[in-house]
Amino acid sequence: MDDRLDVNSLYGGSIKKKQSDAVKTKKYTPSDDDLETSSSIYKLLKANRFLQKELTELGEKLQTEQLKNSKLEKLIQSNNLQLI
């Protein structure tokens, strides 16, 4: 049974693992950085991402409200001209 050919050997090769798959990278932790500082920085960055997202959403809402205001102002001005 061991002398059977598999599909890859029929085409002149076999499955080889990439060298990069075999090498596992480890997370770098500087020696002067303690876990308390790391968690504080993580919390700060997480809060910053949340605030940036909230700022973006509020900016979009502001633009839509400004567009509505300009449309309403134009409507009011056109109605005032028709009344005179």
Q: Look up the domain containing 61 and give its range.
A: 36-84
Residue 1 pLDDT more than 60? no
Integer CA distances (angstroms), 55 to 40, 45, 61, 64, 71, in order: 22, 15, 10, 14, 24
Q: Give 48-82 pLDDT, tens digit per residue.
A: 999 999 999 999 999 999 999 999 999 988 887 66
Higher pLDDT, residue 14 or 34: 34
Looking at the 3D structure of the chain, how many domains does it have?
Answer: 1
Q: Has residue 77 been placed in a domain? A: yes
Q: Has residue 10 been placed in a domain? A: no
Q: Has residue 72 been placed in a domain? A: yes
Q: Has residue 63 been placed in a domain? A: yes
Model confidence, pTM: 0.47
Residue type for position 80: N
Residue 27 pLDDT more than 70? yes
Q: Has residue 80 been placed in a domain? A: yes
How far is it, in rounded angstroms, from Cα 8 to Cα 63?
59
pLDDT of residue 37: 74
Q: Has residue 28 been placed in a domain? A: no
Q: Give 5-25 pLDDT, tens digit per residue.
A: 566 666 665 555 555 555 667
